[in-house]
């Protein structure tokens, strides 16, 4: 399945700060992702690699919160095959007038009936850790959406308001999920026009990094699942002076000591105007899995070495090294 933007759609995106579309994924992919979402939230990671952020796990988390996992593409091949699509990367580059697109992160979102709200926010407020500080998002609905189901909401034209430099308010289950956005509208002397993304499953939207958005309580009897691709410019780099800002502490672990380049192993290029694209998801995940297993082996060796040293010092009784299991 391939997605192409029209000039009219690009113009509408520039005017509104978002664009609602149909037919981003097909029914076969939706069915596969439903199954994979269940397993991810049960802690089953197909590649053996844990996602960068796991904000909900079965049996351990509040059942009335929206389930969220970030960068499940590293953990699951079906998620990777969707969010690493070249056509989606090209669409984001067209909307942002970028030379190309990298993935910043994905979001696996699952909102059961009665699940509580996600607070209004601007994505770019979290992103001081890289430069240029630009993000564009493709949001893919895996269930039919409506206002009652707590679908995604945008404020039309709010990408032209003054942007927040740091996030404000709670993201998961704030007391008033629109409060921070409403305060921003008052500072701008504007009346916010809220648009609800109501699409059939497989449809979705694109939005600008400074567009205000959030989602309300799921008042329906239906689950509302979505897969999200957050993209950055292909020529973006780490901003070392801001690595502690926003979600920088999560992703600064991938910075090289001697430069500010973004490693394609962790921030793959989906599309670039010169034709370059990071090798396909299968090869990329194999490299990540190999790195993961190598790290496990080295850690196991360190444990064996440490136990041997402690034994020599009389701190531990001698025991065969074969009993040490890699963690």
* Tens digit of each residue's pLDDT, the chain (327 residues): 789 999 999 999 999 999 999 999 999 999 999 999 999 999 999 999 999 999 877 777 777 788 899 999 999 999 999 999 999 999 999 999 999 999 999 999 999 999 999 999 999 999 999 999 999 999 999 999 999 999 999 999 999 998 877 788 788 889 999 999 999 999 999 999 999 999 999 999 999 999 999 999 999 999 999 999 999 999 999 999 999 999 999 999 999 999 999 999 999 999 999 999 998 755 665 566 566 556 655 655 554 444 333 333 333 333 333 333 333
Q: What is the pLDDT of residue 286?
A: 59
pLDDT of residue 159: 97
Which pLDDT belongs to residue 305? 42
Other C-beta atoms lying within 10 Å of the C-beta of residue 12? 15
Phi, psi for 70 (deg, rounded to 5): -115, 130
| Cβ within 8 Å of residue 194, ≥6 positions away | 153, 154, 155, 156
| Packed helices 86-96 and 7-16: angle between N→C axes, nearest 10 degrees | 60
* Distance in angstroms (rounded) separating the CA atoms of residues 78 and 83: 9
- Strand pairing class (213-215; 118-121): antiparallel
Q: Of 49, 109, 106, whose CA–CA distance to 294 is shortest?
A: 49
SS3 at position 90: helix
Instruction: Name every residue whose Cβ is closer than 8 Å to that of residue 88 and which is 6 or more positions away in sequence.
Output: 3, 24, 138, 229, 231, 270
Whether the CB-CB separation of 135 and 104 falls below 8 Å is answered with: yes
What was the pLDDT predicted at 169? 78
DSSP-assigned letter for residue 6: -
Q: Are strands 224-233 and 118-121 parallel, antiparallel or unpaired?
A: unpaired
With CA atoms as reference, report the closest residue to 79 among 49, 99, 119, 57: 49
Q: 3-class SS at 17?
A: coil
- Asked if 194 and 155 count as a contact pair (C-beta separation under 8 A), the reply is yes
Q: Say if residues 242 and 132 touch (Cβ distance below 8 Å).
A: no
Give the per-residue pLDDT at 283.
65
């Amino acid at each position: 399945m391939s997605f192409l933007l029209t000039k009219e759609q690009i113009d509408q995106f520039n005017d509104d700060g978002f664009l609602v579309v149909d037919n981003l994924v097909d029914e076969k992919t939706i069915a596969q992702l439903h199954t994979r979402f269940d397993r991810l939230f049960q802690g089953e990671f197909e590649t053996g690699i844990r996602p960068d952020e796991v904000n909900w796990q079965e049996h351990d988390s509040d059942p009335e919160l929206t389930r969220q996992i970030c960068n499940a593409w590293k953990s699951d091949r079906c998620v990777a095959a969707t969010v690493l699509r070249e056509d989606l990367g090209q669409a984001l580059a067209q909307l942002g007038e970028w030379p190309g697109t990298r993935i910043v992160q994905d979001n696996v979102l699952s909102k059961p009936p009665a699940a509580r709200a996600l607070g209004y926010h601007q994505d770019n407020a979290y992103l001081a850790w890289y430069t240029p500080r630009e993000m564009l998002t493709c949001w893919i609905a895996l269930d039919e959406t409506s206002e009652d189901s707590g679908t995604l909401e945008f404020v039309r034209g709010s990408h032209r308001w003054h942007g927040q430099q740091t996030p404000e308010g709670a993201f998961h289950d704030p007391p008033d999920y629109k409060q921070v956005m409403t305060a921003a509208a008052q500072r701008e002397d504007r009346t916010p026009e809220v648009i609800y993304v109501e699409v059939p499953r497989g449809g979705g939207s694109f939005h600008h990094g400074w567009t205000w958005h959030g989602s309300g309580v799921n008042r329906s009897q239906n689950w509302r699942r979505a897969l999200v691709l957050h993209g950055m410019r292909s020529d973006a780099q780490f901003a070392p002076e801001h690595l502690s800002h926003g979600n920088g502490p999560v992703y600064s672990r991938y910075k090289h000591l001697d430069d500010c380049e973004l490693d394609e192993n962790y921030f793959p290029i989906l599309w670039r105007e010169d034709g370059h694209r990071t090798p396909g998801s299968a090869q990329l995940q194999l490299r990540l899995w190999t790195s993961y297993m190598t790290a496990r082996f080295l850690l196991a060796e360190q444990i064996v070495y440490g136990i041997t040293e402690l034994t020599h010092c009389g701190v531990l009784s001698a025991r065969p090294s074969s009993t040490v299991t890699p963690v």
